[in-house]
Amino acid sequence: MTTLNHHLPYTGSVPKVDRAQGALSTFAANAYLRLFVVVMAIAAGAAVLLMAIVLLLDLVVPILFANEIHALAALFPQTAG
């Protein structure tokens, strides 16, 4: 069986369904608002990632080096006096 010259029967025009335009559907239809939401989601993710890294360093550095001063001296030996 081949699909060449295979046509679907014409059924007429499809009736348009009117849908309620609520706040969310109006918001989703606007490309600039969708772009804003995507940019805000990326910024929020970056902020959460940054806070997680800072929290992890704040927890790990004292465990490895006993305190921040010893950590700085180990990481930057030229500044240790």
- Predicted pLDDT at 6: 66
Q: Domain containing 72: what range?
A: 50-81
Tell whether 2 is covered by a domain: no
Q: Judge whether residue 61 has pLDDT over 70.
A: yes
What's the total number of domains in the chain? 1
Q: At what angle do helices 31-65 and 68-75 cross, to 10 degrees?
A: 100
Phi then psi for residue 38, to 5 deg, are -65, -45
Tell whether 11 is covered by a domain: no
Tell whether 44 is covered by a domain: no
Tell whether 76 is covered by a domain: yes
Q: What is the pLDDT of residues 27-59, one digit of tens each?
A: 777 889 889 999 999 999 999 999 999 988 888
Tell whether 79 is covered by a domain: yes
Phi then psi for residue 2, to 5 deg, are -120, 155
Tell whether 63 is covered by a domain: yes
Predicted structure pTM score? 0.52
Q: Which two tokens stand for residue 15?
A: 């009736």
